[in-house]
Amino acid sequence: MSSLEQQVQAGLRQVNERISTAAQAVSRDQAAITLLAVSKTFGADAVLAAAHAGQRHFGENYVQEAVDKILALRALAATGEISAAGLIWHFIGPIQSNKTRQIAEHFDWVHSVDRPKLAHRLSEQRPPKLPALNLLLQVNISGEATKSGLPPEAVTALARSVIALPRVRLRGLMAIPEPETDPARQRAPLARMRALFDRLRSELGPDAADLDTLSMGMSADLEAAIAEGSTLVRVGTAIFGARAPKPLET
């Protein structure tokens, strides 16, 4: 086993232990919480090491880097080294309009939809031969001027619009609250997100059947997010180590 595989396996083991401990503390089933390994800036070899350890969900922020990685892993799958069909790719970064086609063609999930235009483009550009693209609406739950996302009061209208589109499937909400170190202060915006999620499901009624995902929580606030009902946590550095410099994209 290579040093990279050892590092990644150790990181996954530690993060999964944190998830298990946090779930037990609030009487939740760990199986109801998905770990999304944020592999942005790490190479296909790091993803492969995590896949060998059983990790299936991977998150990417940069479109071209991600597409190159996805294609490289599919090529490896052709040799029988891995089952690329078992890897699930999530786009979690800000979306540029000129990148929606690549996202629609290569990803399984998109976490950062915050405008009707983006949802419509992803719907139009999703190849009919592929399963519906799973979408999450990004909410600016802390009201930060520099952060992407919908204001909470705009969520229901966009949700109704997305539900009506073909070839996409609205699955829930995502948020990245303002960083806090105090556990009680961490939980406040996460609790607002859970209340917003529950309210949206109630308002949509039968149309909410597919809404099962609340994506919130990263390395620093993973425990608080699980306590407030997160079903998907996003962790990168704790699994893969220190990040490489951000790649340039055009």
| Phi–psi pair at 95, nearest 5 degrees | -105, 125
Higher pLDDT, 147 or 243: 147
- Structural domain tally of the chain? 1
Q: Is residue 157 part of a domain?
A: yes
Q: Which helix (H) or strand (E) holds 218?
A: none
132, containing H or E segment: none
Helix runs in the chain, H state only: 3-25, 44-52, 63-78, 100-106, 116-125, 155-163, 183-204, 222-227, 237-240
Phi, psi of 83 (to 5 degrees): -100, 100
Q: How far is CA 20 from the centre of its chain?
A: 19
- Answer whether residue 179 is part of any domain: yes
248, part of any domain: no
Q: Is residue 247 part of a domain?
A: no
Domain for residue 146, yes or no? Answer: yes
Question: Residue 51 and residue 88: Cα distance in Å, rounded?
Answer: 11
Instruction: Classify residue 184: in a domain, yes or no.
Output: yes
SS3 call for 19: helix
Residue 58's domain comprises 3-240
Contact 216, 235 (CB under 8 A): no
pTM summary value = 0.94
pLDDT tens digits, one per residue of 162-219: 999 999 999 999 999 988 888 889 999 999 999 999 999 999 999 999 999 999 999 9
Residue 163 inside a domain? The answer is yes
CATH number assigned to the domain comprising residue 176:
3.20.20.10
In a domain, residue 245? The reply is no
Alpha carbon of residue 170 to chain centroid: 13
Q: What is the pLDDT of residue 4?
A: 87
